[in-house]
Amino acid sequence: MARAILALALLIQIVVGLYGIDQPIVWGHQGFHVGEHGLAARNLRRFGTWTPTRHSDPTPAPDSSLSFHHPFLLHPYLAATQALFGEAPWTARIIPLLFSLAAIIGLFAFANRVRGPTTAAIAALAFVLTPLNLVFSHLLDHQIVALAFIMASMLGLRAMLARGSRAGARVWLVGALLAGLTDWPWYPTAFLLFIGLAVATLRGQLGPDRRRLAVLLGVFAAIVLFTFTQHFVGAWLHHAFGDLGHAFGNRGNTSDAAEFFRVMLRRVRELHTWPLVLSLVLWTLLALWRTVVLGRFDLGTLVILAITLGQTTHLARFPTEFMVHEYRSYWYVLPAAFALGDLIAHVRGAVAGRLGRPRLATALAVVLTVSALAPAMAIDRAVVPKSREMAGSIMHPAYNARRAMLTAARLASQLSEPDDSLVVIGGGLRPRTEFYWLLDRRSRIFWRDSDVRAAQATGAHVWMVESTAALQRNHAWRKLLAHAQVLVVDGYAVVDLRPDGPPSVESATRVEEPPYGPVGRWIHAPARGPSALRPVVDAAGRRFIEATAMGDAVRAAYEAQRRPLLQRLPASMVTAPAAPEPAPPPPAPKEAP
C-alpha cells in the first residue's frame, strides 16, 4: 500500500508539473528564472562561462557581469538540456520537475528506512500536496535540486551506518558535495547535522566503529568547508566581493518586522497550510526534547531536525529573501511532510499496540491524514491555475504579464542580425532577464535621443524597442523616425533605424490561434493556442503616424498595407490580416467668413 501511495504522489507531481511547463515566457517568477538561468546556460554553452552571469550580449561575458549571489550548480543542467533539445521554456522547467521526483522518492525511501512505511507514504503524499510544491513544481531554482541531493546523501549515510556500506559512504559524501554547490541553506543544515552526528558517534549511538565514523565525519566537514570557501575564493579571484556583499546585505535588510510577520503568516496559510506547519512545530519540539534533554539520537530525527533548524537559521539571517521570494520556504516542505507522517504513524502505532486493534488504528491514520491534507487540497485547486496565469507571482496583486513588451523583444531578435545589430531599449521599460533572454542581441539602455545617436555613431545597425506612448509624446524622436521603419504591436514599437527601404509604419496585434489540442492546452497553459501576429490597419497606427509627424507618404503606405518588416518574419509568426478599420473622413472645409 505504501508504494501505491508513492506512485499516486509521483503521478500527481508529474501531471501538475507538466501543467503549463511550456508556457511562453511572460513577466513573473517563472519567466524571470527561465531568463536568469537561461542566460547563464547560454553563456556556458557558447563561451564556457561556468560562473552564473546575466550577460545577454552574444559576446563573451566580462568579469563584471559574473554573479556570486548563489552557488553555481544549477545552470549547467540547463545548458545540457538546451544543447540536447534547444532553447525553449520546457527545457528549463523540466529540470526542477525531475529533481522534485527524485526528492520525493528519496524522502519516501529515507522515511521508510528510519521510520517505516506509514511515515514514508504520508510524507510523500504530504510533500506533493503542499501548495507551495505544486505552485512551483517546475520553477527552475536551487531549493528542490539541493533537497534531492540531500535525500540521496542521507540515504547513503543510512546505508553506511546500517551495513557498513562503502558505496553508501561515497553517496553520502558526494551528495554533500553537490548540495554545497547548489544552495546556501545546506551550510547551516550541514553544520547542525555534523554536531548531531559527532555527539551521537561519541556516545556510540550510531554503531560500534566510532573511529571509522569519526574519520568520515572529518571528510564530511572538509567537503562542506571546501564547497563553502570555494565560492568566496571565486568571488575574490574575479574581484566580486562587492557583489557578494551587496547580495548578502540586500537579503538581510528588513525595516518592518510587523510586515515581515504578516507576510510570513500569509505564506503559512496559503502555501504551507496550518496543519502541516503546526505538525512541524510540534514534531520539532518533541525532537529537541528527545535529543537535547533525553540524549537519544537517531538518524531520522537528526536529519529532519537539521534541515528544519538550518532553514530557520537561514530565514532569521536573510529575512528579506523570504519576503521577496515565496519559493524560498521550499526547504520547509520536506521536513513538514516528514513530521506529519511521523506523528500520525506514532498515533497509529500507539492505538494498535495499546488497544490491539490494527484496523482501527489504520482507519484513524487515514482520517488524520485526510483531515490534515484537506486544506492543502482545497488551496491547490484554486492556487495552481492562478499560479500559471500569473507565472508563479501569486503574491503580487498588481501582477502584469507584459506579453506585448516581451513580444517586442522576440520581434527585435527575429528581425535583427546577431553580428552587427545593436538594440537600444527605452529605460522606462525596465527590461529584466525575461526580456534579455528573448532578445539575445547586443543592447543598450537609452533615455534620450542623444543616446540613440551615440549608438548610431558606432556604425552598428541600430534597432530600437520603446513604447509607442513614449515615442509619441517626445518631439525629439521625430528626426530619428523620419527615415525609420516601425512595427507597432499592442503599444510597443520595434524600429529599424537603418532600413533598406523607405520609411514605413505597420501595425499588428498578438493573437492565439488556432487552438491547441487537449495535451497542448495543458502543457502551454494558460495559453490556448500558439502566439502569432495579426496585421491590422487601425486607429492606433494612424495616431502614431500623426503624433510622430512621419508624413503623408508613410500614411498612404500604411493605408495601402505595405508591411516590409512583417514580411521578413517566418510565416508561423504571422497570421491572416484583419480587415482594416475605415479611415476617418477628412475634416469638413471651413466656411469663408
Segments of the chain with pLDDT less than 50: none
In the listed set 389, 416, 446, which residue is the last one of a domain according to the structure? 389
| Residue 390 grid coordinates | 500569473
- On whether the CB atoms of residues 530 and 516 are closer than 8 A, the answer is yes
Do residues 349 and 254 share a domain?
yes
Residue type for position 529: G
pLDDT tens digits, 362-398: 999 999 999 999 999 999 999 999 999 998 888 777 7
pLDDT given at position 395: 77
Domain extent, residue 479, equals: 403-573
Instruction: State how far the Cα of 533 lies from the Cα of 315, in Å rounded to an integer.
Output: 45
Residue type for position 43: N
- 264 backbone φψ class: left, alpha, beta (φ>0; ψ -120 to 50): alpha
Do residues 346 and 369 share a domain?
yes
Q: What's the Cα-to-Cα distance from 82 to each of 91, 142, 253, rounded to whole Å? A: 6, 18, 36
Q: 287: closest CA among 297, 278, 276?
A: 297
Is 485 in a helix, a strand, or coil? strand
Instruction: State how far the Cα of 168 lies from the Cα of 155, in Å rounded to an integer.
Output: 7
Sign of CA dihedral 405, 424, 487, 563: negative
Under DSSP, the state recorded for 96 is H
Contacts of 68 (CB under 8 A, 6+ apart): 51, 52, 231, 234, 235, 238, 240, 243, 244, 247
Q: What's the Cα-to-Cα distance from 135 to each of 104, 166, 355, 582, rounded to whole Å? A: 16, 39, 41, 46
| Residue 215 grid coordinates | 574519520
How many helical (H) and strand (E) elements, i.e. helices and strands, does the chain have? Answer: 25, 7
| Residue 579 grid coordinates | 480587415
| Residue 36 grid coordinates | 536568469
Element (H, E) at 512: strand 504-512
| Residue 243 grid coordinates | 557583489
Sign of CA dihedral 296, 301, 303, 304: negative
pLDDT tens digits, 270-282: 999 999 999 999 9
Do residues 374 and 505 share a domain?
no
User: What is the helix, strand, coil percentage profile of the chain, to 5?
Assistant: 65, 10, 25
In a domain, 583, yes or no: no
Do residues 356 and 460 share a domain?
no
Contacts of 50 (CB under 8 A, 6+ apart): 44, 72, 76
Under DSSP, the state recorded for 28 is S
Residue type for position 494: V
Do residues 262 and 360 share a domain?
yes
pLDDT given at position 63: 86
Do residues 414 and 504 share a domain?
yes
- 23 backbone φψ class: left, alpha, beta (φ>0; ψ -120 to 50): beta
Q: How many whole angstroms from its chain centre is CA 315?
A: 19
In a domain, 394, yes or no: no
Do residues 363 and 460 share a domain?
no
- On whether the CB atoms of residues 71 and 183 are closer than 8 A, the answer is yes
pLDDT given at position 583: 74
Do residues 369 and 436 share a domain?
no
Do residues 247 and 349 share a domain?
yes
Q: What are phi and psi of 589, to 5 degrees?
A: -65, 145
In a domain, 203, yes or no: yes
Instruction: State how far the Cα of 21 lies from the Cα of 433, in Å rounded to an integer.
Output: 19
In a domain, 27, yes or no: no
Is 461 in a helix, a strand, or coil? strand
Q: 23: closest CA among 123, 78, 84, 92?
A: 92
In a domain, 385, yes or no: yes
Instruction: State how far the Cα of 317 lies from the Cα of 252, in Å rounded to an integer.
Output: 6
Q: 562: closest CA among 540, 575, 580, 544?
A: 580
518533541: which residue's cell?
286
Do residues 140 and 278 share a domain?
yes
Torsion on CA atoms 235, 237, 241, 244, rounded to nearest 10: -10
In a domain, 294, yes or no: yes
Strands 442-446 and 421-426: parallel
Instruction: State how far the Cα of 414 lies from the Cα of 90, in Å rounded to an integer.
Output: 20
Q: What are phi and psi of 70, to 5 degrees?
A: -135, 160
pLDDT given at position 589: 62
Instruction: State how far the Cα of 593 lies from the Cα of 590, in Å rounded to an integer.
Output: 9
The count of domains in the chain is 2
Instruction: State how far the Cα of 233 lies from the Cα of 229, in Å rounded to an integer.
Output: 6
pLDDT given at position 321: 83
Under DSSP, the state recorded for 271 is I
553580428: which residue's cell?
419
Under DSSP, the state recorded for 164 is -
Do residues 442 and 364 share a domain?
no
In a domain, 10, yes or no: no
In a domain, 47, yes or no: no
- On whether the CB atoms of residues 276 and 126 are closer than 8 A, the answer is yes
Is 222 in a helix, a strand, or coil? helix
Do residues 364 and 474 share a domain?
no
Q: What are phi and psi of 295, to 5 degrees?
A: 70, 25
Instruction: State how far the Cα of 182 lies from the Cα of 75, in Å rounded to an integer.
Output: 10
Under DSSP, the state recorded for 572 is G
Contacts of 589 (CB under 8 A, 6+ apart): none
pLDDT tens digits, 516-533: 999 999 999 999 999 999
